[in-house]
Amino acid sequence: MAATNDTRTSQTTRALLGLRELIISGEFGYGDRMSELPLVGRLGVSRTPVRLALAALEHEGLLRALPGGGYVVREFSQADIIDATELRGVLEGTAARFAAERGASRRDIRALRAVEDEIAEVVHAADYESFERYVGLNDRFHARLVAMASSPQLARALEGITALPFASASAFVMTEAELPASREILVIAHSQHLGLIEAIEQGHGSRAEALAREHARLAIANLTIALRHRGVLETVRGHSLIAFSADPGARRRARARPNG
């Protein structure tokens, strides 16, 4: 029985991860219906894990349940993305305040400064590889910041927000590799990171919270720039979910149209 349960859990996890990747990578766009049987064959699992994965992704917000049964891929408007980013800022601001008020260890402060030392080496570079490196370093900084809050409840709430496309700290970073206007934002982000470290180290909770919330809004600035350059926006994971048109079919037809 244990082996059967383990197998079922493994298949459900496989279905969930596989289905999420298909959506985020652009294999499906908003308005596309998610039919169980084709997904069973594509994911290589049975129907029950697929059904559970669909329900989980509806709970995450990637899918929308239809009144008559079944699911479609959910569309995300500019307002949806801004709201998710603002919520991330509120939670990361709270994390920064907790870290400052509860007393960050010297080890944690050193770890943050070490990340920023590496970021300082790439933040002014213009090559694509530097931006890729920045994404990993930025994710490390934000993960450490949340861990320093010592709040499992806050970490779970933040995980729920960042499970959505476009809401993570590095969601729009790669657009900066293409557009000079966006590249300048990296320099600002680096400066804000340094200010956050200083505020946390000195125990200034309110300042740390304000800085973290303002820092999250840089992603909104990047979104605004990216929306003016639709080709660049395609570098963002999950771009096929952004609703440019009120007609979902228009998006699907555009994706299906042959090049040239």
Mean pLDDT per 10-residue segment, the chain (260 residues): 58 89 87 92 91 92 90 91 92 97 95 94 79 88 96 93 81 68 81 97 97 92 76 74 57 42
Q: Give domain status of residue 246, yes or no.
A: no
Q: What is the spatial distance between Cα 87 and Cα 185, in angstroms, rounded to a whole number?
A: 20
pLDDT at 8: 61
CATH number at residue 37: 1.10.10.10
CATH number at residue 109: 1.20.120.530
Domain range enclosing 16: 2-74
Total domain count, the chain: 2
Closest CA to 165 of 44, 76, 52: 76
pLDDT at 33: 94
3-state helix, strand, coil in the chain (%, to 5): 70, 5, 25
Last residue of a domain, one of 29, 47, 74: 74
pLDDT at 3: 44
Q: What is the spatial distance between Cα 88 and Cα 169, in angstroms, rounded to a whole number?
A: 8
Contact 191, 91 (CB under 8 A): no
Last residue of a domain, one of 74, 102, 126: 74
- Residue 111 and residue 27 share a domain: no
- Residue 50 and residue 107 share a domain: no
How many residues would you count in the chain? 260
Amino acid letter, residue 104 = A
Beta sheet of 63-65, edge-to-edge order: 33-34, 71-73, 63-65
- Residue 85 and residue 66 share a domain: no
Q: Give domain status of residue 255, yes or no.
A: no
What is the 8-class DSSP label of residue 61?
T
Q: Give domain status of residue 252, yes or no.
A: no
